[in-house]
Amino acid sequence: MMDLLFFAIFATVAVLCAINVVLQKHPISSALSLVGVMASLAVLYLLLGGEFIAMAQIIVYAGAVMVLFIFVIMLLNAGIEVRRGRSWMATIFGVPALLGLLGVLGYLLVRWFPDAPAIKFGDFTGGTAKEVGYALFTTYLLPFEVTSVLILIAILGAVVLARKELD
Amino acid sequence: MEFLIATSIKLALIAFVLLTALAYIQWVERKVIAHVQVRMGPSRVGPHGLLQPLADVIKLITKEGVLPPHVNRVFYLAAPILAVFMALISISVIPFGTSITVLGHKTMMELADVNVGILVILAVSSMGVYGIALAGWSSNNKYSLLGGLRSSAQMISYELPMSLAIAAPLLSAGSLSLRTIVRSQGGSWHMIPHWAIFAFPAPQIFSFIIFMIAAFAETNRIPFDLPEAENELVAGFHVEYSSMSFAAFFMAEYANMVTVCCVATLLFLGGWQPLFPASHGSNFVAPLIFALSGAICIYHGINYVRPFDRITLPIFGVIFLGCAGLFAFPPLVPVLTPLFWFLAKMSFLLFVFIWIRATLPRFRYDQLMSFAWKFLFPVALVNLLVTGFLVAWVS
Amino acid sequence: MPPIPNGVPMSFYLGLSALLFVIGVAGFVLRRNIITVFMCIELMLNAVNLSFVTFANYHKQVAGHIFTFFVMVVAAAEAAVGLAIILTVFKNRTTLNIDEVDSLKN
């Protein structure tokens, strides 16, 4: 029961915040709603037994990436979005297409996993920092090292872009 | 059910003690800085100004909360709540001592023993920047905006060396649970305690220093109080705030200070582990200190300098002697002694925070950034590398 | 009425993930501000992460968490570069509207 209750609360919060991300006119409101989505997803990760990944979600996503977004919005003093013509086309054709996409996704998910057991909190405890770290440094060592190179490249790219802007 | 009752009692106790302590840390800070600058400090309200926090709270509550017309109302009102919420929430995973048994019910001296405790603290403290950034932005004032921008850049930058400094002692402890980390620092080698800053394979003295420097920046304290630099940004991100929302930012700052001092104590200074083993009499340090303070207070009460000392100092002396007397009851000793050691180390670190504030000038902004990226970050990285090699070599 | 299951059916988690993903796509298509569009991409990545963590629970393997970890790392790198690009675009064209950034030359 408690599982279902927590899932219901935080899934509702996540969906409402996600809709808010799309509907809010001001980028800062969108960004904060996105932080709400990320925080409630972290709680769901905890329910799924991923304690390390839940904390990483908050530290990396909510604490670093989104702060960067807010920093840029504040720096550019981005205001309320201006609407122009032509975007009503997207609304007319986009919304039914999206509903279709949702239907297809939902159908496939239910079709592929009809007899999946219900998820109870505590029946999967393989998501501790120890397990994740062990897998990361044995089975997935090469991808891990490659991502570190990727991060290095991203840092260099960001510095180059920022420097060009200063000239 | 028993768990719920125990948790509610602990919650109420921690909330009450923490909020009172936050008010009194402010008093201690004003007194210490005053004495460093050869002044008296607050002395009008109550004996030695001891009721000053109460007077401040009454003043702040009864003041008018001004809502400037040009602000973004929702975020302007939400920012101080967010700041204080994020600052107070992380105290819930901090263990203050070993277990305590009340009426046959055994309970741990913390709200929640999370097995990723240190990550929870990092996560919550990384969310703390939102309060300040939003306050700066929603005030719609250029000084506030500059303060908010500075604070988000500063907090992201100093989080990196801080996390790396935290990772180093975790390597030797081999756990993310704060209770296990403290337990791994128990015992001693001759007279040297097995705390992380002295521990055998890799003494963590450098990561302790790096952690403390980053902690100053994370809590926006002098010498890194750029977000609220009074003489360039008037008061930075909280320039438009008044009344309780103004006080909320101060509460958040002091709560953050308490949290980082607790974390430093737990990770580097052995938590509630005593300075030297109990076989050498460390259990007698606490009553001795209290008895000594009581005796000094009574002596000065008898040979008074100012007339009101004749009444106040003996009262404090009796209170201190009473605290010393508590240690005479054997069932209380295993509870009070760890608590004493934990609080003593934490208060010392808090004193260092105040001491530095009275000593150092403020950094310039470019100095702050280049210090984080060009010095602190590489040093923390090298320290982590050396620690990793030493731990691997020993095991 | 079926009995209330003990625990949460896995399809709930996957359905939530699908719903968040579709909301992200909607924002990506409908919004015109570059920063908001970028945030909707992050929302889609988060929705996929939820699926990964759910499957990790289903298969009782840690691999799903590792994938989520990699997605987070890549998202952080992407945010750094993407926001730098947005800053440069804003400097050059003084607009954040995606419709106005439509020519390769000025």
A4 at B interface, C-beta within 8 A: no
Dig out the tokens for A111 from the structure: 């079709």
3-class SS at B206? Answer: helix
On the CB side of C78, how many CA atoms lie within 13 Å of its CA? 14
Dig out the tokens for C101 from the structure: 């950034």
Contact B250, B81 (CB under 8 A): no
CA pair distance A98, A94, nearest whole angstrom: 6
CA pair distance A72, A75, nearest whole angstrom: 5
Choose among A28, A58, A67: nearest Cβ to B152. Answer: A67
Dig out the tokens for B116 from the structure: 């990723």
Q: Which of B247, B267, B265 is nearest to B257 (CA)?
A: B265
Count the Cβ atoms, other than its own, within 10 Å of residue B254: 22
A71 at B interface, C-beta within 8 A: yes
- For residue range C71-91, what is the model confidence (pLDDT) as tens digits? 999 998 998 899 888 888 888
Decide if A21 and C27 are in contact by the 8 Å CB cutoff. yes
Q: Which residue is closest to B130 within chain A, CA to CA?
A: A67
The DSSP result for A56-121, as a single string, is HIIIIIIIIIHHHHHHHHHHHT--SPPP-TTHHHHHHHHHHHHHHHHHHHHHHHHHH-TTPPPB-T
Phi-psi region of B234 (alpha: psi -120 to 50; beta: other; left: phi over 0): left
Contact A40, A10 (CB under 8 A): yes
**Residue C19 carries which side chain, given as an amino acid letter?**
L
Cis peptide leading into residue B223 (ω within 30°): yes
Chains A and B touch (3+ CB pairs under 8 A): yes
Residues 6+ apart with CB under 8 A from B356: B216, B221, B222, B223
CATH 3.40.718.10 for domain C10-100 = no
Chains with ≥3 CB–CB distances under 8 Å to C: A
Give strand pairing partners of C8. Answer: A119
CATH number of A1-80: 1.20.120.1200
The DSSP result for B6-73, as a single string, is HHHHHHHHHHHHHHHHHHHHHHHHHHHHHHHTT---S-SSSGGGTTHHHHHHHHHHHS-----TTS-H
Dig out the tokens for B26 from the structure: 């402010």
pLDDT in tens, chain B (395 residues): 777 888 888 888 888 888 888 888 888 998 898 988 888 888 888 777 888 888 888 888 888 877 888 877 888 888 888 888 888 888 888 888 777 777 767 777 777 778 888 888 888 888 888 888 888 888 888 888 888 888 888 888 888 899 899 988 888 888 888 888 888 887 777 777 878 788 777 788 888 999 999 998 888 887 887 766 666 766 777 777 877 888 888 888 889 999 999 999 988 888 888 887 777 777 788 888 888 888 888 888 888 877 777 888 888 888 888 888 888 888 778 888 888 888 889 999 999 999 998 888 888 888 888 898 899 999 999 999 998 888 888 87
CA pair distance C102, C83, nearest whole angstrom: 18
Question: What are the domain boundaries of chain C?
Answer: 10-100
Contact B133, A74 (CB under 8 A): yes
Decide if C54 and A119 are in contact by the 8 Å CB cutoff. yes
Decide if C24 and A18 are in contact by the 8 Å CB cutoff. yes
Decide if C66 and A140 are in contact by the 8 Å CB cutoff. yes
3-class SS at B187? Answer: coil
- Is this prediction's ipTM beyond 0.90? no
Structure-model confidence comparison of residues B302 and A166, the more confident one:
B302
C89 at A interface, C-beta within 8 A: no
Chains C and B touch (3+ CB pairs under 8 A): no
A129 at B interface, C-beta within 8 A: yes
Contact B242, B66 (CB under 8 A): yes
Residues 6+ apart with CB under 8 A from C99: A84, A86, A87, C32
